[in-house]
Structure 1
C-alpha cells in the first residue's frame, strides 16, 4: 500500500428521441484471447497495463480458485498480544467475500492462515520498515521470512503469499504494507515465488486493505494519484469508485474495465460503441436471478490506439452498498499509463458540486455519475451521453450520440 492511511493523515492534520443509427458490437470478455475486438485496448509495457488483448502470465489469473497462505511473523524484541486467528479474522472471510461479489462468483480466494507465530531471526527494529523502504533491508526481511517459514509451510501448494507481521512489534510501520515483486523470484519447495504481500497493518486494519493489495497480485494497478511530495489529495483520479484507488472508498467495487481484464465479464456484457446507440446498462453489482442472465454491464468507446472511454452503472448494492450516489459513471482508460500514473480517470459530470463531505475520500467526485434526465458531452470526444430512464429492474437506459 503506497498511499497513506487516514490514521497517518489524521495524525498530521485533521422523453425519448429515436436515433438514426444503433450499433452495438459485443466485445470479448476473456482477457487472454488474441482477437480482442475493436474496443479492447492492447496490453502495453506499462506496469500493470490495463490492456485486455492478452493475459500477462507472470500473474495468477483469477478465473478459478486461488489458494493463499497467510504466515504470521513475530520478532525477538516483542511478545505478540494478538493471536494469528484474531489477525486472520481481520481479513477473512471479508476479503474473499469482496472478490466473490465483484467476480459474480467466478473467483474464489481460499485463505490458509497458519495457526502459530513464526519468529524472525532479528528484531523488528533492525529491518527499518517504513514507506519507500530501503531495498536492501526489505530484501533481508523477505529472505528471512521465507527462510524461517519454509520448515512449516509448503509454498508449492499456494498461489498467493501473505506475510503478516506482529502489529504491536516496535519496528512495524503500517504504512509499509504493499506487494513486493521480485526481479529474480525466490525459490522454495520447488516453486518460484514471484511476489508476496507484506502486511504491517494495525489491529484492526484499514478497511479493504487486503483486497487492494490482492488486486496487485492479480496485475491491477494503483488508481490513486500520488503527489510528488507526498502531500495533497491522493484521490483526484477516481475518488471513491474503485478499491484500487482507495480501500476506504464508499463504492470500492472494481471498475467494469478491470473486471473485463480479469475475465469476469462475459462476451454479452461488454458493448463496443462505434455509432449512435441506445443501450441498457445493468448495474455493475447486479446479481442475476437463477436461470436468467445479466445483459450489458460495460459500454466502451474507443478514442485512440491506447485509450478509451467506458460507461457503467453503479448502484447501492453489493460492494457498493455504501455509495454516496448512483448513476452512470463515465471514465477514461489508458493502457499505456503505468500504475499510479492515472490509467483510469473518472469524468466528473457535476463539476460544480461535491457530495458526502463527511464520508467520501474525495467529495468532488462523489457525485460524478450521470443521473436520470441528465445529459453530458464528454470533453474532446464529440460524444454526448444521456441517461434517459431507469427500468423497473434497476437498469439504466442510456443514449450515446457520437460525432456531435
Structure 2
C-alpha cells in the first residue's frame, strides 16, 4: 500500500490580528508505508514500536490525506529524535539587503528554538542549528523577481530561489551533512508579518533541487518578524520556527480558514504568535517523545480508570486514547502552566478528537471545551481566549452521546496527577 508524501505551504495571520486564514496545498507524491530504517532520511521517531494493546489506538495515516495525523509518519520527513542537524542560512537580495549583521538574525531564533525542542521532547530531540555561512548570502535576483507572495506554489519561484541558494552557498556548505534546512530571510524582504505571513515549509519534497547528492526536501523559510507590538518579540518571536519545523517532522497545521478556533493555544501547530505553548500529547507520541508505556489505550468495552501526570514533566503516564474507529479517537492529557506551556490559566484534563482522515489546515484536531461560550480565562494577546479554559476539572465529565463515550475527571492528587474514568460501549 502506498502512503502520501506531502508538501505544505503555510501562510496566515494570527486570529488576534486578522479574521481570515488561508491554506494551499502543493502537489503530492507517494511513498511506501513500510517503517523506515533509522537514518538521516527516516521520518518521525525512527520507527516507534508497535506493542500489543496499542494497535487500536495508533490510528494509521489515511491514504490521500495531506499530512495525516495517523501513525507512523510516512518516510521522507526529517526524523524527530536523536541528534538533528539544522542547516541555517541567512539570505538577502539586491533590492532588500540585510540592514543588520546576519548573526543578529540567527540570534532571533537560537538558542530559543533548540531550547523549545529540548523541553518539549524531554531531551529526546537534540536540535543543533549550524550556520557555516556566517554572513548574508546574497541572492542573484531581486526579491521581487522570484514572485514570492502569500500562497505562492513551489513552482516556479521557490524552485528558482532554492537553486540560487544552493549555487551561492555550496562553496561553504556540505548540504549532505544536515537533516533539515532553515532559510532566515532578511526581515525587509516582503511585507510585514502583521499584514501577510509568508513563512512557509516544504516538507517531504523529494522533487526539490539537489545539493551534494541530497534533495533539499525539508526546508523552512522564515520572513519578516512576528512582532505584534506588545513588547514580547524578544521572548516569543522565535516561535514561528518551531512551528515550521513541526512540518518537517510531519505535523499538520491545526488552525483552519477561520483561525485558531479548533485547537486554540494548546499546540504550536495551531497558534505560534504570543505566549509560549507546547505540542499536544498526541503529537509527542507521534514524534517519538512519549513511549507506548506512557499511553493508556482504552479500546475495550466497559469502564476503566487511568492515572495521568502533567504533560510538561518527564516520565510517567501522559496520554489516554479512546479510539472511535480506524481513523479517529479522543486523546486525554493533563496540561499545566509548566515547561513550554506559559499561557495555561485553567490547569486540568484536556480532551480532544484526533482524525487521521482530515487534511492539514482543515481541522484534524478539535478541542472539547469544558466551559463553552465562557470567553476564556486569559486576555493575553494572540492567545485564542475562548479555549483557554477548555480543560476539565475534577467532578466534570465529557460526553459523546452519539458514540456512547464518557470521560470523567475523578480527582487530582497532591503531585498533580489526575484520575480519569473512561466509559465506552
Task: Give me the TM-score of the superposition, normalised by structure 1.
Answer: 0.86
- 135, 156, 178: which one pairs with 1:136? 156
Q: In the superposition, relative to structure 1, how do residues 308 and 252 fare at CA in structure 2: closer, same or farther (>3 Å)?
A: same
> What does residue 71 of structure 1 align with?
89
* Whole-angstrom distance in 2 between the partners of 1:213 and 1:371: 33
Deviations 1:77-110 (A, max 9, x none): 2332221211111111111111111111001110
Of structures 1 and 2, the larger Rg is shown by: 1
- 291, 294, 298: which one pairs with 1:269? 294
> What does residue 18 of structure 1 align with?
none
Question: What SS does the aligned partner of 1:176 have?
Answer: coil
Kindly indicate whether the alpha-carbon contact (under 8 Å) linking 2:276 and 2:341 is maintained by their aligned counterparts in 1.
yes
Q: In the superposition, relative to structure 1, how do residues 351 and 49 fare at CA in structure 2: closer, same or farther (>3 Å)?
A: same
Question: What SS does the aligned partner of 1:295 have?
Answer: coil
Structure 1 segment 2-401 matched on structure 2, within 5 A: 2-5=11-14, 9=18, 32-33=48-49, 37-45=55-63, 46-52=65-71, 54-113=72-131, 114-134=133-153, 135-169=155-189, 175-181=197-203, 182=205, 184-202=207-225, 206-226=237-257, 233-248=258-273, 250=275, 252-273=277-298, 274=300, 275-287=302-314, 294-356=315-377, 358-359=379-380, 361-401=383-423
Following superposition, the deviation at residue 249 of structure 1 comes to: 5.8
Question: What SS does the aligned partner of 2:55 have?
Answer: coil
Kindly indicate whether the alpha-carbon contact (under 8 Å) linking 1:207 and 1:248 is maintained by their aligned counterparts in 2.
no
Q: Give the number of equivalent residue pairs.
A: 372
What is the alpha-carbon root mean square deviation over aligned residues?
2.3
Question: What SS does the aligned partner of 1:162 have?
Answer: strand
Deviations 1:321-358 (A, max 9, x none): 32122110000011111111111111112113121452
Question: What SS does the aligned partner of 2:344 have?
Answer: coil
5+ long unaligned stretches in structure 1 = 11-28, 227-232, 288-293
Q: In the superposition, relative to structure 1, how do residues 48 and 140 fare at CA in structure 2: closer, same or farther (>3 Å)?
A: same
Task: Give me the TM-score of the superposition, normalised by structure 2.
Answer: 0.82
Deviations 1:149-204 (A, max 9, x none): 11221101111111111112467876111102436132111222213111113286
Q: Which 10-residue stretch deviates more, 211-220 or 120-129?
A: 120-129
5+ long unaligned stretches in structure 2 = 1-9, 20-44, 228-232
* Whole-angstrom distance in 1 between the partners of 2:369 and 2:226: 36
Question: What SS does the aligned partner of 2:277 have?
Answer: coil
Question: What SS does the aligned partner of 1:115 have?
Answer: coil
Kindly indicate whether the alpha-carbon contact (under 8 Å) linking 2:345 and 2:378 is maintained by their aligned counterparts in 1.
no
Following superposition, the deviation at residue 208 of structure 1 comes to: 0.8
